Amino acid sequence: MDHGRAHSCRLAVLAAGQAPCWTRLVLAGESTAEAWPVTNRREPFLPLFVGDFLGSTGEWSGEAQSLYLLLLAHQWAVGSLPVETEKLARLSRWDRRAFLKCWETVKVKFVERDGRLYNQRLEEHREHAASIHSKRTGAGKAGAEARWPKTGKTVGTTRSERLSAARALGTHTPTEWAAMQEACGHRCVMCQASAQDLIGESFCKDHVVPIYAGGSDAIGNIQPTCRNCNSKKGGDSTDYRPSGWQERLAKCLAKRLQNASHQSINQEEDSEAKASGASAPLPLAGKEPSASLDQALFSEGRKVFGQSCGGLLNQAIRAKGKPWLVQMIETCRPKDPEAARAYLKASMTEREQRADRFNTA
């Protein structure tokens, strides 16, 4: 190789995953030269302090600077250099006579130890880089353990499996999720960002107790957060929802249930009016709120629990209250009426049922 072209040399260290690394010498205007098998380790980048390099080699020729930089790169990739000048000339792809001329200048930067040549400062940088890599690796593992602790409660190895396990403990409906956002003021419960401030104007469903730690997918374990807060939460299981969110959630659900019932009744009356040829009746907006709410509760309750469940609905209201019954209706909506009635009865304790029968008597 013509040593005068050493100014045009550049090094490319190619690494992909766990595959072995190669250092390739590429000449300007030529194809890639023969590859050097170097190492299967993923070394960090070669530190090059340009000011120090130029300051310590400022009186050298350009050929000597190029040779020095090439040997430094090879030592960084391999770990050391051979002491034989013939091997060094082959490594650098230099003509031996030209190499020996520049080597007299460059060799002062290397020391011999155990039959190999080393640049001492470069090895100090290697130790420093290894120390930084070790610290970052430890910090990454600690962060992963904090976010995904090995509590023994994690079910499954993938997110879909963990989500299936969480949904087996409890689920929520789109109506409940919309009501929860309304109960929290349509804001991120952690940073108080409004929906209008977010991309897409939508919140993330954050599980208070993470599903990898055994949390359920029920609405009681979900709070609205923005994407930034959700991604940095980690293993935090703090409930950031405002105080009294349960009461507000029940009211929001009741309001949505009332509106849905009004819409359903109006549609049925419109259909009947069209079938009979009569004009459509006025909407139910003029009715009293309490009467309308009771009517909506019993109407939706009969749809979910069956037409003959009026006494059971009255017991549930006296024992648990109307907001609780609203949540039960939404929870049992996907079930068939028989299973829904069994679930409702099981949710009311025997003690409460006895107390209800006593009060009725």
* CA geometry: angle 127, 133, 136, nearest 5 deg: 145
111-113 and 204-207: which strand pairing?
unpaired
Q: Any idea which of 42-51, 123-132, 217-226, 287-296 has the lowest mean pLDDT?
A: 287-296
Residue 277 lies in a domain: no
**Strands ordered across the beta sheet of 111-113:** 81-82, 116-118, 111-113
Residue 143 lies in a domain: no
Residue-wise pLDDT for 165-212, tens only, equals 888 888 888 888 989 999 999 899 999 988 888 877 788 999 999 888
Residue 356 lies in a domain: yes
First to last CA, the chain: 108
Residue 19's pLDDT band, with cuts at 50, 70 and 90, is very low
Residue 51 lies in a domain: yes
d(CA 293, CA 270) in angstroms, rounded, equals 21
User: With 70 as the cut, is the pLDDT of residue 14 above it?
Assistant: no
Closest by CA position to 92, among listed 126, 117, 127, 113: 117
d(CA 1, CA 27) in angstroms, rounded, equals 10
Do 112 and 67 lie in one domain? The reply is yes
Domain boundary among 242, 269, 294: 242
> Can you give the pLDDT at residue 8?
36
> Can you give the pLDDT at residue 117?
92
Residue 251 lies in a domain: no
Residue 138 lies in a domain: no
* CA geometry: angle 179, 182, 188, nearest 5 deg: 120
Cβ-proximal residues to 224 (8 Å cutoff; 6+ apart), any chain? 180, 181, 184, 186, 187, 188, 189, 203, 204, 205, 206
Do 11 and 115 lie in one domain? The reply is yes
Long-range contacts of 67-73 (CB under 8 A, 24+ apart): 67/6, 67/92, 67/94, 67/99, 67/102, 67/103, 67/106, 68/106, 68/109, 70/6, 70/9, 70/11, 70/25, 71/106, 71/110, 71/119, 72/46, 72/119, 72/122, 73/11, 73/13, 73/23, 73/46
Do 80 and 189 lie in one domain? The reply is no
> Can you give the pLDDT at residue 344?
79
Residue 147 lies in a domain: no
> Can you give the pLDDT at residue 223?
93
> Can you give the pLDDT at residue 261?
64
> Can you give the pLDDT at residue 44?
65
Do 17 and 105 lie in one domain? The reply is yes
Residue 330's pLDDT band, with cuts at 50, 70 and 90, is confident
Do 120 and 10 lie in one domain? The reply is yes
> Can you give the pLDDT at residue 273?
57
Do 37 and 103 lie in one domain? The reply is yes
> Can you give the pLDDT at residue 271?
66
Residue 225's pLDDT band, with cuts at 50, 70 and 90, is very high
Domain boundary among 81, 106, 125: 125
Do 295 and 350 lie in one domain? The reply is yes
Do 109 and 200 lie in one domain? The reply is no
Amino acid identity, position 258: Q
Angstrom distances, CA of residue 232 to CA of 158, 165, 211, 229: 20, 23, 16, 5
Do 114 and 38 lie in one domain? The reply is yes
Do 163 and 115 lie in one domain? The reply is no
For position 230, which CATH number holds? 1.10.30
Residue-wise pLDDT for 271-322, tens only, equals 665 665 544 433 333 333 445 556 777 778 888 888 777 788 888 888 788 8
Do 121 and 177 lie in one domain? The reply is no
Higher pLDDT, 265 or 36: 265
Residue 315 lies in a domain: yes
Mean predicted lDDT score pLDDT of the chain:
74
> Can you give the pLDDT at residue 116?
92
10-14 and 111-113: which strand pairing?
unpaired
* Structural domain total, the chain: 3
> Can you give the pLDDT at residue 360?
46
**Strands ordered across the beta sheet of 10-14:** 10-14, 21-26, 36-39
Do 179 and 121 lie in one domain? The reply is no
Residue-wise pLDDT for 49-90, tens only, equals 888 888 888 889 988 888 998 899 888 888 889 999 888 888
pTM (two decimals): 0.38
pLDDT average, residue stretch 92-121: 89
Domain enclosing residue 54, as ranges: 3-125
* CA geometry: angle 80, 30, 39, nearest 5 deg: 25
User: With 90 as the cut, is the pLDDT of residue 222 above it?
Assistant: yes
Domain boundary among 179, 208, 242: 242
